[in-house]
Amino acid sequence: MSDTALTRINMDTEVTSARWTAEQAWNWHHLQPWRCGFNYVPSSAVNSIEMWQHETFDLPTMERELGWAQELGFNTCRIYLPFLLWRHEPKALLERVEQFLEIAEERGHKSVVVLFDDCDSVGHDPFLGFQGEPVPGRHNSRWTPSPGHRHATNRELWPDFEAYVSSVVGHFAQDERILMWDLYNEPGQSGMGEKSLPLLRDTFAWARAAHPHQPLTSGLHTGPPPNLGEIAGAVPVEGAQRLTDFMLSESDIISFHDYGDLARLHRHVCELKTLGRPLICTEWLCRTHGSHIKTHLDVFKAEKIGCYFWGLVNGRTQTQFPWGSPENAPDPDVWFHDLLRTDGTPYDEKEVALIQQALASQQETQA
């Protein structure tokens, strides 16, 4: 699909402060190619703050790694922004996002942008400055939530949260380099439960008030809505039903995480299709849980479900280790996540060949 055609659907879609209708969502979906990409943190960053703050914003590594992704045929990526850094230097953060979007677009990648996140690997709120070295053997050992669990329930910060969402979404509301807004990653995770619902609810309202031409979503992960089966890889969350119901009622495009095996993915997709909206899987690939490129990629392609595995280049996040790996765990024989080593060589040549084949055949069909 040409950029001209995508611009047309964006301009023809009525911009309102309400959720897109199913028809609007499908019109957007039908004019997209099959989106296949990755969650991206550069190999030189241990978390999203290290990715974006001035001292460690590593544009050469991003250019190199996104170039490798282009060679493989990927056409999209998903990135996390840190609220704390925006609060500290809003103009500078937007400038760095502009730089990232430019190099991503040059290499053929539309970006999905995450604004808030409840995932917490370290048990404390985020902070600026040196983020610490990775803990040997630990999966995502320095990953912090955004804005931080204590802050996410602090009503005194609501004006700042609103300004953040309004500023970022408003700045890029008509930017074709952004595919979609993923407003809140895994709300309720890490013990937050229903305490995340007020911020989740208001974030959707603030984002809609900025009148973006891109769709809004927040990915299902906490547990199923009525009559839907288990969401693979989900961690039980107190109040999951209310969170899930709200996400389903507000998301323009239904997004979800699935780290389970092929049978679970089939069941999950069949159940989610009953909701009558396009689907995008914003996190998958968990080799030791049965989530494999050799089994899952064909399902996503056949169903035209956008998909983002975790993650592109193995590095300081250490996500080759499984969730909950102890300190000083030995390097695993089977990687949990990640596709490439830091020198750009594949972890598994056969996986890369399957990806290239799937994406090349799509490009031939579009041509």
Q: Which residues contact 16 (CB under 8 A, 6 or more apart)?
A: 208, 211
Among candidate residues 351, 270, 265, 329, the one with its CA nearest the CA of residue 38: 351
Q: What is the pLDDT of residue 8?
A: 35
Percent helix, strand and coil across the chain, each to the nearest 5: 45, 15, 45
Q: Which residues of the chain have pLDDT under 50?
A: 1-15, 223-234, 367
For residue 240, the model assigns a pLDDT of 80
What structural domains and CATH numbers belong to the chain?
Answer: 3-366 (3.20.20.80)
Collapsing DSSP to helix, strand or coil, 306 comes out as: strand
Residue-level pLDDT at 17: 75
Partners of residue 178 on adjacent β-strands: 111
Q: Which residues contact 21 (CB under 8 A, 6 or more apart)?
A: none
pLDDT of 119: 95
Measured between alpha carbons, how far is 334 from 43 in angstroms, rounded to an integer?
19
- Closest by alpha carbon to 77, among 123, 41, 25? 41
Question: How confident is the model at residue 236, as a pLDDT?
Answer: 56
How far, in Å, CA of 259 to CA of 192, rounded?
A: 21
pLDDT, residue 22, reads 98
Residue pointed to by tokens 């047309």: 8
Q: What pLDDT is recorded for position 237?
A: 61
Smallest Cα–Cα separation from 18: which of 242, 251, 183?
251
Burial of residue 246, with CB atoms counted within 10 A of its CB: 0-12 exposed, 13-18 middle, 19 or more buried: middle
What pLDDT was estimated at residue 366?
55
